Chains A and B, each alone.
Chain A
């Protein structure tokens, strides 16, 4: 039950972060005095959600996934899709940590700089927001491959 809560929380908050970063990205493409507040709020909630997604993911990894011999990690490694851990989980860990720092930069950028007046800063925020959207999509995809790896490891097809 706790495992389901952690993994669903991880996927849920990650997805919410992705949608809200996409929302903020679209707002940035047509930024003006009327929607700047909305973009800032969307970015802040997205970052908070992304942070929660990381916490849930970390908790799941430590409490369930990586438990010696019985954790999901060992089930995946024992199955035909063993590389779902060896490549996708391993890289996902590091992408997620870097995503945390990228969220700090984007928060500083949207709250500390007048993006409506400063076109260079707006362009920077758009690029970083786009990178975060793409990053969340990659992380979600990697998570799905890990889930398939677990299913295969449990004898499913």
Chain B
């Protein structure tokens, strides 16, 4: 359990990891599309992991980020500090943040690709 016992630390950690990735994901995509260097990074990451296609790069990049952030928030007091700062004191409020981050991700990434199509 988390340090104050109110929430499971793994759920808190993975939820915060998810929220961060949801916010980062659209900007990473925009960066990848707009910057050759960023695109190379994804392709090279895939190659380092023995996988040629950039999709593997995406997948591994986000899995690695998710695991790192989950461990960081689950094993340190950082997750609880953020939860306290955002007044997240139960699972329902945590879920609202997760669902909110899904909506944010959905809107931003749809908007970006829509702009790409309209261009």
Contact = CB atoms under 8 A, between A and B. Distances in A.
A36 to B, nearest CB: 16
A83 to B, nearest CB: 5
B117 A87 contact: yes
Interface residues of B, number: 36
B98 interface: yes
A30 interface: no
Contact of B58 (A97, A102, A104): A97
Nearest to A95: B106
Interface in A109-137: 109, 112-113, 118, 120-121, 123-125, 127-128, 131, 135
B11 A127 contact: no
Contacts of A121: 90-92
A105 B113 contact: no
Given A102-B18, A113-B91, A124-B92, A131 B102 contact: yes
B92 A123 contact: yes
Contacts of B114: 87
A61 interface: yes
A86 B117 contact: yes
Contacts of A5: none
Interface in B4-23: 8, 10-11, 14-15, 17-18, 21-22
A109 B91 contact: yes
Interface string B82-100: 0000000011111110110
> Which A-B residue pairs are the 9 nearest by beta carbons?
A124-B95, A124-B91, A120-B90, A121-B91, A123-B92, A120-B92, A127-B95, A120-B91, A86-B117
Interface of B: 8, 10-11, 14-15, 17-18, 21-22, 25-26, 29, 53, 55, 58-59, 62, 66, 90-96, 98-99, 102, 105-106, 109-110, 113-114, 116-117
